[in-house]
Chain A
Amino acid sequence: MQKLQDIDVRVEAPVDQPVQHGNAVPVLHEILHALRRLGETEESTTIDLRSIPFGPGDEELLLDVLGRGEVAVKLETLGVSDIYETAFAGAWIVDHRNTEGERIALQIEIARVPEILFTQVADLADSISRLEKRLRTPDGVASLSNPIEREKT
């Protein structure tokens, strides 16, 4: 069945006369204040763009002004999430998509590193457990599922 995102239609501001709804500028000011807080007190801030009443062109303007910085990360769990630092260090775009590529959350995180990128304690415990088990198994390291061995074959 054809899905909505397969249909090449999107809402755009007229090309010849861009419409400014003015909703991007307050968000940029909010980011500025959040960057100051981060610098002064290490307090991080997350802005959920779903709650902002953007008109056509507002989101594009906001993302255009923020630009792209030096770091980009692809997170692959429950669909792909694109996370990148904007041209303003400390302001990150966190764009979560589901397994169908549909956006499920779009946030601006003002932090040194977005929270979701940190290794989580539960995952760390799981890693230790799995690696310990692997090393205890007689042929655990030499088996084909070992990425180094797989590369050799």
Chain B
Amino acid sequence: MADSNTEIKTLGESLQQQGVSRRGFLKYCTATASMMALPPAMVPAIAEALEKARRPSVIWLSFQECTGCTESLTRAHAPTIENLIFNHISLDYHHTLQAAAGEGAEAAREAAMHENFGKYLVVVDGSIPLKDPGFSTIAGISNLDMLKETVAGAAAVIAVGSCAAFGGLPHANPNPTGAVSVSEIIKDKPVVNVSGCPPIPTVISGVLAHFLTFGGLPELDDLGRPKVFYGQSIHDRCYRRPFYDKGLFAETFDDEGARKGWCLYRMGCKGPMTYNACATTKWNQGTSWPVESGHGCLGCSEPDFWDGGGFYNAISIPDGDIARNIGLGAVAGVAVGAAAGMLNRNARAEAVSRHETVTVDDLEKTS
């Protein structure tokens, strides 16, 4: 539980007490600058700010989610710079990680809100169901009520993952729970969207580090995402981009182009329409990332990526699955007319329309 801020040591004092030298602190600041995607020239300013930084209280709310975002963050690295960042926030409520349960857990949340009113951060992963509050509750409180109540005294909200940022998978057609994003509910507080399914762990901690360092939020793009991480498309930062420019594409996962590491655009890579830091930050301690592993980008940090028309359809094909499925159908000896008929735009629209009216009762009938 957090003490009041006046009793809390600054980060500089705390590291000094742990026997960390000034050189160690500079190393910490260098890694923090790198994590925040800030230029190395910013290290002295970061050092000055971090030295005076005090532990902010953080309340983490998990709604309609798969815990993948928490997994991404907590499996990031063992004792690392990110952990040092986390040692210097006061994570006062996170019902997946905390030992307390039931009334004790809720009491911790309420105490953190009361003691840090107006200063604490709320991190949300998961979307919020609006059709029926009973779809997702914590301690008998609906996600909507808990979000509104908790955010009332917050300094800012960080929506972690595509579910919290844009509705994510729960929001995909037919969206049976009426899932919405945090920003569709919260209009009177700053909301930062850290999208991705899951987001890159260093991007999550980078945003927290920015708040810790500068006491505010980073500059955001038109979708509420920090520009330092989401300012450039995957395509623009992709090491395979020169192959795209030369017109060298892999056509299948095992052809010559795939073996030579050519561009995955024609295999459905969503890099050109996806904004994220995967191409530079990479995953698993910088080991690799999807395109480096030979698979196109799914576009998971963009709104409605799940309903984008197929992960393996090139984005240049407007109605990609029709063309592809007709072709595949012909090869397989399936009646082409029937395939085309089934997949025509009108039929799809009708199917989508039909899906949107599916109720929980309907789902139960078919299961």
Contact = CB atoms under 8 A, between A and B. Distances in A.
Interface of A: 3-5, 10-11, 14, 17, 19, 21-23, 46-48, 50-56, 58, 75, 77-78, 81, 94, 96, 98-100, 102-105, 107, 115-116, 120-123
A103 B286 contact: yes
A19 B286 CA distance: 19
A58 B21 CA distance: 34
A102 B80 contact: yes
Nearest to B18: A78
A116 B23 contact: yes
A61 to B, nearest CB: 12
A11 B288 contact: yes
Most buried by A among B39, B286, B293: B286
Contact of A107 (B23, B30, B237, B239): B30
Contacts of A3: 78
B238 A53 contact: yes
Contacts of B260: 17, 19
Interface stretch (B52-60, B146-154, B216-224, B276-284): B276-284
A123 B22 contact: yes
A56 B287 contact: no
A134 B48 CA distance: 30
A11 to B, nearest CB: 5
Given A21-B242, A55-B261, A56-B261, A103 B22 contact: no
B285 A103 contact: yes
A107 B27 CA distance: 12
Contacts of A54: 239
B73 interface: no
Contacts of B279: 53
Interface in B246-287: 259-261, 279-281, 284-287
Contacts of A17: 260
A104 B279 CA distance: 17
Contacts of B31: 96, 104-105
Contact of B27 (A48, A55, A58, A75): A75
B41 A100 contact: no
A46 B41 contact: yes
Contacts, number: 109
Interface of B: 20-24, 26-28, 30-31, 33-34, 37, 39-41, 77-81, 84, 237-240, 242, 259-261, 279-281, 284-288, 292-293
Given A98-B77, A102-B80, A120-B21, 9 more contacts: A5-B285, A21-B242, A50-B286, A77-B20, A78-B28, A81-B27, A96-B30, A116-B26, A123-B22
16 contacts: A4-B284, A11-B288, A19-B261, A50-B34, A53-B238, A55-B292, A81-B27, A94-B30, A98-B80, A99-B78, A99-B79, A100-B80, A116-B26, A120-B26, A121-B22, A123-B22
A139 B319 CA distance: 85
Contacts of A99: 78-79
A115 B47 CA distance: 13
Contacts of B26: 115-116, 120
Contact of A120 (B23, B28, B34, B77): B23
B281 A122 contact: no
Nearest to B78: A100
Among B22, B37, B39, B238, the one with the most A-chain Cβ atoms within 10 Å of its Cβ is B22
Given A77-B21, A107-B40, A120-B21, A22 B77 contact: no
- The 4 closest A-B CB pairs, nearest first, are A55-B239, A77-B24, A46-B40, A120-B22
B288 A21 contact: no
B239 A21 contact: yes
A4 to B, nearest CB: 5
B78 A102 contact: yes
Nearest to B243: A21
A104 B259 CA distance: 30
B79 A53 contact: no
A54 B287 CA distance: 11
Nearest to B202: A50
Given A98-B79, A107-B40, A122-B22, A52 B280 contact: yes
